[in-house]
Amino acid sequence: MLNKLSDTIYYLSNQDDKERPTLGLVCGDQFSLIIDAGNSPQHAQDFLLEIEKRNVPPVKYVVITHAHWDHFLGMNEFNATVIVNNQTNEMIKEWQGFSYDDRSLQKYVTANQMSPICMKVLQTDMTNRERFKLKSPDVIFENTLTIDLGNKLCILERIKSTHTDDATIIYIPDEKVVFLGDCAYGTTTNSLFHYKQSLLSPMIKDIQKYDAEMFLLGHESICDLNEMNVYWEELTAANQAVNSTSLEQAMKSFKEENNREPNDNERFFIKAFVNDRNIQSD
């Protein structure tokens, strides 16, 4: 079901059991814009069916927030202009060269080019896989791009991110809403989950310069300003406690700096920042 955030903004909630992220819809007087294309053709089709139930202007644009498979593998289903930043475009090229039959998918999983969950989703939600070829994006921008949907501006910006090197966020000024994709999350390298410590403060700065009151994230759906600020505060406090590869020292530093024990979220973040130190020291 399509959730209504305002008269002009809707979203399809994430489904963790199907590895489906949040998808967004922004409507202007003339056109509509979709945020992320889904993890498969079936995900995209399900989204389009929900959009058809609403009396909204025709979809003219699809913006991909970053080049992780669950956000773009449905893009062939949209009769619209697909927009990506230049880094996302380069990363998608590998997937354009892929074949999607069972034998090829297994080969990519064995070579760590594709996750087993991705293969499973595609085998379930991509028909005619033997003939499937991922299309190329239509518009490639470098840093920022502003789109007018008809009395409705959408500001696209590539920002620094603790999750990926190619993050794009979408800000709708008159609604004070920003779609973050997965940019505020951590990532996994060599089986270690971590937040990129050097990019945390620049990322928060890039996001907080926008006057936003509601935030849509790829795998939590929606947060208000207070919830987002708590998230930033916990991440920042955890980050400041980590100055080495020692988890024990980081926990001790946190307690000394904050005069309390870290909560569960902060413990998780501290471990992730220590993991990042270990990755950077390898």
CATH code of residue 57 = 3.60.15.10
What 8-state DSSP symbol labels residue 100? -
Give the confidence band of 148 by pLDDT, cuts at 50, 70, 90. Answer: very high
If you average pLDDT over residues 264-269, what whole number do you get?
Answer: 98
Three-class secondary structure of residue 155 per DSSP: strand
Assess whether 275 and 227 both reside in one domain. no
Average model confidence (pLDDT) for the chain? Answer: 97
Assess whether 85 and 195 both reside in one domain. yes
Is residue 282's pLDDT more than 90?
Answer: no
Is residue 258's pLDDT more than 80?
Answer: yes
What domain count does the chain have? Answer: 2
Assess whether 71 and 188 both reside in one domain. yes
Assess whether 145 and 190 both reside in one domain. yes
pTM of the model: 0.97
Three-class secondary structure of residue 266 per DSSP: helix
- From the list 50, 234, 145, 21, the residue with the least C-alpha distance to 13 is 21
In a domain, 38, yes or no: yes
Task: Return all residues near 268 (Cβ < 8 A) that are at least 6 apart.
Answer: none
Dist CA 215 CA 33 (whole Å): 17
In a domain, 57, yes or no: yes
Q: pLDDT tens digit string along 50-70?
A: 999 999 999 999 999 999 999
